[in-house]
Amino acid sequence: MHRRTVAALALALVAVLGGCAGFGTVPDGSATETPTPGGDGTPAADDATPTPTPTPTTPVSTPGSDYETTTVDLVDEDGTRLAAVDVWIADSWPKRYTGLSDTTALEDGQGMLFVHDQEGTHGYVMREMAFPLDMVFVAGNGTITTIHHAPVESDGDLTQYSGRAKYVLEVPMGYTNETGVEVGDRVVIEDA
C-alpha cells in the first residue's frame, strides 16, 4: 500500500476511535513520527530503548486567511469581564454558510463571529460539523438573547437553532457554562 494511503487510513482510524476531533484532512496527507535518539529517524546503535511507534497527528484546520479576525469580550451585567474570545469574522453569505464546517476543532478562547446586515431572527444548523458548539445569539446592542448548546448531528436531520440577533458567536460546546456566560450578559466587539 502507498505510504500516503497508509497515513490517511491511520488518521481516519484515529478520528473514528475518538483520538482526535478531525473533520478535515492533513494538508499534505502525511503523518508525523516521534523523533528517535538517532536524530535521523533510526534508533541510536547503543540505545536499548525500543523506537516509539509513529503517531499520526492532525493539525487543527482553521477557517483560513481570507477571514478577518478580532477579539470579543463577554461581560456580565455589571461590566465584569467573564471571557475573551479570538474570533474569525464571517460577514458575507458564503462565509456564514460555510461557518466552521471546514474547521477541525476550536481551542478554548477561539470562535467565529457571524455578522448579519441587520438584527432579526436567524437560524443556524450543524452542517458537516466535526465538533459541538455553543451558539450565542447577540442583539445589535451587544446583549446576549439566546444560547444554544448544539451537539454534532449524525443522522442527517439538521436541527435549526434560532434566535434574535445581529451577531452570532460560536465557541466550543460548554464554553459559556465554564465561563459563566448567560442570557442578558453582553458581547463587546473590539472593532465595532
Same domain membership, residue 102 and residue 49: no
* Residue pLDDT, tens place only, 134-172: 999 999 999 999 999 999 988 778 999 999 999 999 999
* Residue pLDDT, tens place only, 95-144: 999 999 889 889 889 999 999 999 999 999 998 899 999 999 999 999 99
> What pairing do the DSSP bridges indicate for beta strands 69-75 and 186-189?
antiparallel
Q: Supply the CATH number for residue 104's domain.
A: 2.60.120.1140
Q: Looking at residues 15-39, what average pLDDT do you find?
A: 33
In a domain, 64, yes or no: no
Task: Kindly list the strands in the beta sheet with 144-150, ordered across the sheet, starting from the edge strand earlier in the chain.
Answer: 144-150, 133-138, 161-172, 110-124, 81-90, 69-75, 186-189
Top-confidence residue, 35 or 53: 53
Contact at 8 Å (CB) between 173 and 151?
Answer: yes
Nearest to 30 by CA among 50, 59, 65: 59
pLDDT at position 69: 92
pLDDT at position 61: 60
Same domain membership, residue 144 and residue 91: yes
Count structural domains, the chain.
Answer: 2
Q: Looking at residues 21-49, what average pLDDT do you find?
A: 36
> Can you tell me the distance from the alpha carbon of 111 to that of 133, in angstroms, rounded to the nearest whole number?
9
Same domain membership, residue 5 and residue 98: no
Same domain membership, residue 76 and residue 146: yes
> What pairing do the DSSP bridges indicate for beta strands 144-150 and 110-124?
unpaired
Domain that includes residue 183, residue range: 69-189
Same domain membership, residue 151 and residue 85: yes
Same domain membership, residue 45 and residue 119: no
> Can you tell me the distance from the alpha carbon of 151 to that of 115, in angstroms, rounded to the nearest whole number?
22
